[in-house]
Chain A
Amino acid sequence: MPSATDALGRDDRLIAGFAALAIAIHILEAAFPSPLPGVKPGLANVITVIVLLRYGWYTAAWVAALRVLAGSLLVGTFLSPTFIMSASGAVAALAALWLAQLLAGRWLGALGYSVCAALAHMGTQLLVAWQLFIPHPALLNLAPFLLTAALVFGIVSGVIAAIVLTRLGTEPGTARP
């Protein structure tokens, strides 16, 4: 069926394009020094949220997975602790986005999705770090600092994503399912 393959090809191109954008942001961010270990603006999540709202969760999951994989290969952290943290955070963020979309659907905009994803991302990373790398209860005392940072950056990313989405407008045939 030509129409199905056409749709598939268009989806693949979309995923590849957005993943490339996200990877570029991911690598740019990796080049900046961080004031606190583990705190990153996470601007690549802007792309994830935009893709989620325009093309749905499935496409967003592909973009995020490719970003983590290719980003780690390019930065040189593939299969290192950094990669495990990054991957677990991305999985948690995608799970949070899926849940948020299931529960709130159209009531939620880019800001809400972004904050959900940021907090899930940071909370899971903290738990993974605690379980795998630094199994000391005092690590959890960092949680308020890190969660505050996640909230702030989640709001910033969300506002950026919302502005970009309004600029992009709604193209026919690209509304999310």
Chain B
Amino acid sequence: MSIVRPADALVVAVAAMLVGAAWASLWGGGGPAEYAQVSAPGASDRRLDLALETTLEVRGRLGPSRLEVRDGRVRFVDSPCVGRLCVHSGWLSRSGQVAACLPNGIVVEVTGGDREFDAISY
């Protein structure tokens, strides 16, 4: 009797796939986002439908930031800040993602659908 039989390898492979599926389904991040929440200083939050294709300018503390919505995603195209971290954040498409231009005071968050969390603590 050998230590490992063919069916054993099969069982281990199926089990590994199940565990992998558990990882993928529970830690794979959020589903596609449905809309973007844009907050700017001195203005109420705006909600952008990601299904539409638009560009818009949002007034911040330093000046206007330009946002682009296309293919269910949103990004900063330009912002009057120094580091352009917001622009380098790139496209936001998965629910729960955030891009912010802190010098300009503008935060864009995509939500809707299945939400993704960075961390949960109790």
Where the two chains meet, the residues of A that have a C-beta atom closer than 8 Å to any C-beta of B are: 100, 104, 107-112, 115-116, 119, 136, 138, 140-141, 143-144, 147-148, 151, 154-155, 158-159, 162-163, 165-166, 170
Partner of A107, one of B3, B5, B15: B5
Contact with A along B54-97 (1 / 0, CB 8 A): 00000000000000000000000000000000000000000000
For chain B, the bracket of interface size reads 20 to 34
Cβ of B1 < 8 Å from any Cβ of A?
yes
Partner of B5, one of A112, A115, A136, A140: A112
Which B residues lie within 8 Å of A104 (CB)?
Answer: 7, 11
Partner of A109, one of B1, B27, B120, B122: B1
User: Do A166 and B15 have beta carbons less than 8 Å apart?
Assistant: no
Question: Chain A's interface: helix, strand, loop or mixed, by majority?
Answer: helix
Q: List 20 A-B contacts (CB under 8 A).
A: A107-B5, A108-B11, A109-B2, A110-B3, A110-B8, A112-B7, A112-B10, A115-B8, A116-B11, A119-B18, A140-B26, A143-B22, A144-B19, A147-B18, A148-B23, A151-B12, A154-B15, A158-B8, A162-B3, A166-B1
User: Do B12 and A115 have beta carbons less than 8 Å apart?
Assistant: yes
6 A-B pairs with the lowest CB-CB distances in the bound complex, closest first: A112-B11, A107-B7, A112-B8, A111-B8, A109-B5, A144-B23
Which A residues lie within 8 Å of B18 (CB)?
Answer: 119, 147
Which B residues lie within 8 Å of A111 (CB)?
Answer: 3-5, 8, 11-12
In angstroms, Cα B15 to Cα A111, docked, is 12
A93 to chain B, nearest CB (A): 14
**Known contacts A109-B7, A162-B4, A165-B1; A151 and B19 CB within 8 A of each other:** yes
